[in-house]
Chain A
Amino acid sequence: MLVALSIFFVFPFFWMFSTSLKSYDDVFAFPPVWWPSETLWSNYVDLVVELPFIRYTLNTLFVTGMTLIGFMVSSSLVAFGFSYFRIPGKKNLFRILLITLMIPPQVTMIPQFVLFNRLGWIGTYLPLIVPPFFGGAFAIFLLKQFFDTIPKEFSDAAKLDGANEWKIFINVYLPLSKPAIATCSLFIFIWTWTDFLNPLIYLTDDRMYTLSIGLQQLSSSRMTAWPQLMGGSIIMTIPIIILFFLAQKTFIQGIQVGGIKS
């Protein structure tokens, strides 16, 4: 049964891959061409030739890496703040956090741009990599919920041993939240890696562009270079798949160890 379901999930991905190897016309063939008779690996070569693919990849790695570090470090601190401490007005602050998630980005886009413009950051990577260091609502929310599941007994025990809040954070909460942290990091990575609009708006030098913008360059005004676009999309997903495999280790560990032991 698991196998049947996996076909449902994998099939479109397989289709992307086979499309990336087709000739342009084969993409639209009906009845559909499941696997091209002539696998054009040259489509992938086209990607590197047409675009400064390596540079775009490095740019994207830089932006994603910095963003990831920023979000994870700051958000875990803030999530701990929300979860562990009793602070007057905490409920309202948390509501504000959720509200920041609930506003559609289309209407905050322009004022946000104006803000960064006044700071003089347009044309640099700063609008993309600095705000993450001040926490991300999604990550804070996720991590707080996970921190909430950690039984109080653990931190009480650590307090008895003389640990202060910082030590509790580092030695109790963080280790117990490895799956949550791995998951959160994964999502942030995916979101930033494939983000198109934010790099587009804030970067002015096309040498600084990221992969998602670069892939747009493959199409002319009336034709989209489907095989190459699919190929580019697949290459973009490879790092994510690798990360996912690595992240899974934390889950597997859990299963073998059997969850939290008192």
Chain B
Amino acid sequence: MKKRLFFVMGFVLVCVVVFSRTEITFWYAWGGDEGRALVDLVDEFNRGQNQILVRPVFVPIGQGEKINATLVGSSTPDVVTIWDWMVVPLGESGALRELNHFLDLAGITESDYLDGVWDYGSYRGKKFALPTTLNTYAFMWNKELFREFGLDPDHPPANTEELDRYAQLLFREDTRGNIRRLGFLPNISHIYFYVFGGQLWDSQTEEVTANHPNNIAAMDWIASYYQKFNLQKIRVFQATWGEMASSYNPFYRGQLAIQEAGQWELLFIQEFARPDFEYGVAPFPAPEGGREKVAYLNGSFWAIPTGSTAPDEAFAFLEWLTAPSQSARFAAALSNIPPRIEAINDPAFQNAILPNMEVYLDMLMDGYVYFFPTLPVGLFYMEELNQALQYVQSGAKTSEEALDDVQQAIQRELRKYQ
């Protein structure tokens, strides 16, 4: 009797050990429908195999207060979601595991990804995180307004000189001097740095190039818009713009004739604009000698903290999550673009493609792709550029002075990391 009991217990114990799953914690940062789509994927993973149980936890990333604090502690999650500017500071400080050998084992290489994406989130060859989904921006114009002002609705301006002319033509002021419509307003300044042939970072020499001569030329061009149309009036006008994700979006309402649009705008237009709203999408027009088809890339990342006690399982989960089919479905749910080429071609993504998405995809596959340099100093570079733009807009500094200052400031910061 005792012997049988012993065997039964032994059997149960063996079953428990064999069938028990390694539990891993997955911090995700999406709420609303997007969060739900991700949790659904996690459920699918859990149901589909018996070794790993993923526990998804909603953690708003913010500016990393919780991430930074937790990663210096001893009990960390197994997979975290982070912004792109966090990858290198966290990775270089040892808080994230290098993924290179995991990727080698899984046979995932640079060619699986869109051009340029492999280096995104790497620093000096070390990959600390995998991109979740991607965003990119294109040039979008209001066809109806073009038609109204005698411009060909199906053809965007061919270069920046034409763009300037269009912007002036489409500008409208009321009798009290308040702006009623802006033709165009450059917003993400560094896109134009690249369009004008400049760059923020030289990956060969690994140096900051904030004051590249073409950057300065681009900055002058951007500043001209704020000078032509009056900085203060523009600010007041911008305050009248409705919420982007609503039918009061200034682009849909004709307050802005041409805008920089992320690919998710395609979905927003479908949801919030008039059904008959006509718009066009194309790569950014370049000046003479500039670059055509510049594609600015950004996105969030998944990483495995060094403190994770189950890194192999964590990567196994990540491998599944970033596999083409799952990546395609998740990207479709966010109206983003999956980073892997196979995922883009996956039916789950293809079937969700909205009209004009081909333009964005073409820019990514065929154009000049860049991302904001991921450096150990985090957002500092971006913030310094914002400061520079403000100085130039208000006339406090010339473009050259402002960008020289940025160059010096970033160089000084980076030296602290050597």
Complex contacts, B70 vs chain A, CB 8 Å: 113, 122, 201, 204
Whether A117 touches B66, Cβ cut-off 8 Å, given contacts A217-B35, A221-B334, A222-B244, is no
Given contacts A113-B73, A205-B57, A217-B58, contact A223 B66 (CB under 8 A): no
Contact across chains for B31 and A114 when beta carbons are under 8 A apart? no
Query: Considering only CB atoms, which chain B residue lies closest to A220 in the complex?
Result: B32
Q: How many Å lie between the Cα of A110 and that of B70 in the bound state?
A: 9
Q: Would you call B245 an interface residue if the criterion is a C-beta within 8 Å of the partner chain's C-beta atoms?
A: yes
Interface residues on A, range: 20 to 34
- Taking a contact as CB atoms under 8 Å apart, the answer to whether B58 and A30 are in contact is no
State whether B34 touches A221 (Cβ < 8 A): yes
CB distance from B62 to the nearest CB of A (A): 8
Q: Chain B contact residues: over half helix, strand or loop, or mixed?
A: loop
B65 touches A25 (CB 8 A): no
A-B contact count (CB 8 A): 82
B159 interfacial by beta-carbon distance below 8 Å = no
B238 within 8 A of A: no
Q: Are B73 and A225 in contact, CB atoms less than 8 angstroms apart?
A: no
Contact mask for chain B residues 360-382; partner A; CB cutoff 8 A; 1 contact, 0 none? 00000000000000000000000
User: Known interface pairs A113-B72, A216-B60, A221-B334. Does A30 touch B248 (Cβ–Cβ under 8 Å)?
Assistant: yes
CB of A4 closer than 8 Å to a CB of B: no
Asked if A109 is an interface residue, CB under 8 A from chain B, the answer is yes
Q: Which residues 125-156 of B have a CB within 8 angstroms of A?
A: none
Quick one: which of B25, B65, B245, B248 contacts A223, CB cutoff 8 A?
A: B245
Question: Taking the complex as formed, is A255 at the interface, i.e. its CB lies under 8 A from any CB of chain B?
Answer: no
Chain A residues contacting B62 (CB-CB under 8 Å) are 200
B65 and A220 contacting across the interface, CB-CB below 8 Å: no
B60 and A218 contact, CB distance less than 8 A: no
A65 at the interface (CB under 8 A from B): no
- Contact call B73/A221, Cβ cutoff below 8 A: no
B77: chain A residues at CB < 8 Å are 204
Q: How far is the CB of A232 from chain B (nearest CB, A)?
A: 12
- Judge whether A222 and B245 touch: CB under 8 Å: yes
Interface residue A103 (Cβ < 8 Å from any Cβ of B): no
Q: How far is the CA of A218 from the CA of B30 in the complex (A)?
A: 9
Specify which chain A residues have a CB less than 8 angstroms from the CB of B72 in the assembled complex.
110, 113-114, 117
**In the bound complex, how far is the Cα of B243 from the Cα of A24, in angstroms?**
11
Distance in Å: Cβ of A158 to nearest Cβ of chain B: 48
B22 within 8 A of A: no
Q: Is B174 an interface residue (CB 8 A)?
A: no
With A113-B69, A217-B58 already in contact, the answer to whether A225 and B74 are too (CB < 8 A) is no
Given A117-B73, A201-B66, residue A220 in contact with residue B34 (CB < 8 A): yes
Query: Which residues does chain A contribute within 8 Å of B68, judged by CB atoms?
Result: 110
Specify which chain B residues have a CB less than 8 angstroms from the CB of A225 in the assembled complex.
Answer: 32
CB distance from B190 to the nearest CB of A (A): 21
A206 within 8 A of B: yes
- Give, as a whole number of angstroms, the nearest-CB distance from B301 to chain A: 14
The complex places the Cα of A220 from the Cα of B75 at a distance, in Å, of: 28
A-B contacts besides A110-B72, A113-B69, A216-B60, 14 pairs, CB < 8 Å: A25-B247, A114-B73, A117-B73, A197-B65, A200-B59, A200-B60, A204-B70, A204-B77, A205-B57, A213-B60, A217-B60, A219-B32, A220-B33, A223-B32
User: A residues within 8 Å of B by Cβ?
Assistant: 24-25, 27-30, 109-110, 113-114, 117, 122-123, 197, 200-201, 204-206, 209, 213, 216-223, 225
> 7 tightest CB-CB pairs across the interface, nearest first?
A220-B32, A117-B73, A113-B69, A217-B31, A223-B245, A28-B243, A28-B248
